[in-house]
Amino acid sequence: MSEFTLNDLETIVAARAKASPDESWTAKLAAAGQTKAAKKLGEEAVETVIAAISQDRKDLVCESADLIYHLLVVLNIAHIPLQDVLDELHRRTGQSGLQEKASRPKS
Ligand SMILES: N=c1c2ncn([C@@H]3O[C@H](COP(=O)(O)OP(=O)(O)OP(=O)(O)O)[C@@H](O)[C@H]3O)c2ncn1[C@@H]1O[C@H](COP(=O)(O)O)[C@@H](O)[C@H]1O
């Protein structure tokens, strides 16, 4: 299993968004703007749903990868760091306070 993380992909997306649209799909989407990138995200979401319903494991893995990549492109264009999304997910677990307490040295 690789140690590749969504944070790594976010860094790649941020770097490639500044490349030439002729050589980078990320830059092409960034240049086309948020509406085009969001439409592409929607297409990938539909393709992921279809893969899930068809119970094709390989397709579901590939479409999920496309979906997550395109979500990171949309977040990049919107200037929203992935960490903001992770913080929101963390908040929803109701664990953020508990973990902070647990890591604090006992007095
Ligand atoms: N993870 C991805 C990734 N997933 C999907 N895609 C691209 O998303 C595009 C959309 O897929 P489609 O099948 O819908 O493509 P399409 O039919 O050509 O597009 P349309 O004609 O429908 O607009 C394809 O061109 C895929 O290559 C990705 N492009 C880039 N990345 C990552 O981004 C990095 C930088 O890529 P570039 O920006 O291209 O250098 C890569 O090294 C990868 O890590």
**pTM for this structure?**
0.88
* Nearest ligand 1 atom to alpha carbon 12: 34
The confidence score (pLDDT) of residue 10 equals 98
- Tell me, using a 6 A CB cutoff, whether residue 16 lines ligand 1: yes
Domains annotated for the chain, with CATH where assigned, are 6-103 (1.10.287.1080)
Average pLDDT, the chain: 93
Task: Write down the pLDDT at residue 42.
Answer: 98
Q: Look at residue 6 in the predicted model and tell me its pLDDT.
A: 98
Give the separation between CA 85 and CA 96, rounded to whole angstroms: 14
Ramachandran area for residue 5 (φ above 0: left; ψ -120 to 50: alpha; else beta): beta
Whether pLDDT at 99 is above 80: no
| pLDDT band per the 50, 70, 90 thresholds, residue 84 | very high
pLDDT score for 36: 98
Which of 28, 32, 26, 30 is CA-nearest to residue 13? 26
ipTM: 0.85
Residue 76 near ligand 1, beta carbon < 6 Å: no
Model pLDDT for residues 12-61, shown as the tens digit of each residue? 999 999 999 999 999 999 999 999 999 999 999 999 999 999 999 999 99
d(CA 36, CA 62): 21
| Mutation pick for ligand 1 pocket among 23, 25, 69 (CB with most ligand atoms within 8 Å) | 25
d(C-alpha 53, C-alpha 30), whole Å: 31
In the chain, helix, strand, coil percent, each to 5?
Answer: 75, 0, 25
Closest protein CA for atom 29 of ligand 1: 25
